[in-house]
Amino acid sequence: MKRMKKAALALEPVTSYADGLPIHFLTGKNYLYQTLFCIRSLAKTAGAHFKFILIDDGTFDADLTELVQRLLPNAEIISAELIEKNLAQHIPRSCTALLEKRKVYPHIRKLTDIHTLPGNSWKLVMDSDMIFWTEPKEILSWIEKPDSPLYMRDCMPSYGYTDLILKELSGKQLPELVNVGVIGLNSDYIEWQKIDEWIKILESREGTSYYLEQALTAMIIGDRPSTILADNQYIVNPDEQLIKHKNGILHHYVDLSKKEYFIDVWKNI
């Protein structure tokens, strides 16, 4: 991991374009090096210009901002101050469970901090612990003309709560195996007071879960027609052989695959 962090500082800069295809990353001091590798791999494989929008996870400082300006020229940084302003404008104070959860559970900021941003309702959010191996044509097409939710398929069910309660609360049939490594949503789909109520009931009946954000995202998508990225091309938790041969378009390094990611994978970029 230390070698990967050091190598990130020597990556070739990737320019962000104001009129480029917009991609959001929640990142900060502990994750920026992964964000840089993900972006660099995307720039190497995709024949397109992008607009990179980095959402401060609360750890940005002057040094980190300077680093972003050097390695991601013209990238947009959404500051913690602006995020707080947006939250106050869009999420009612009565959503106490949601706002308290945001303080202790950073993953939920991929919903709260990104989907309260002004501008286009459709937003594509990517995790940083991913590497692109070939051009992600399906993602590029979606960003150019989004008309339905977009998501990766997980390698196993990972919602953290029983299907029974998720269906009961959402009132809808849930999509299977949503993985939020790549997730495209319309901000207008998100009803913050409903999200707040879901959190209260889920945690009171079945406890807390690391996968809460993924469960909430699946509930938001519900039974809407969606663009589902093929799981043999957009691969969550790739095994050793898939990693070795760089099979597929994108690898999302979770669970056991993180070891190879931190040791060797980044050296290919």
What pLDDT digit, counting tens, does each position of 87-139 carry? 999 999 999 999 999 999 999 999 999 999 999 999 999 999 999 999 999 99
User: Would the pTM of this model clear 0.85, i.e. be above it?
Assistant: yes
pLDDT tens, position by position, 216-254: 999 999 999 999 999 999 999 999 999 999 999 999 999
Please state, for a pLDDT cut of 70, what percent of the chain lies above it: 100
Q: What is the pLDDT of residue 120?
A: 92
Residues 6+ apart with CB under 8 A from 66: none
Classify residue 237 as left (phi > 0), alpha (psi -120 to 50) or beta.
left
pLDDT at 1 over 90: no
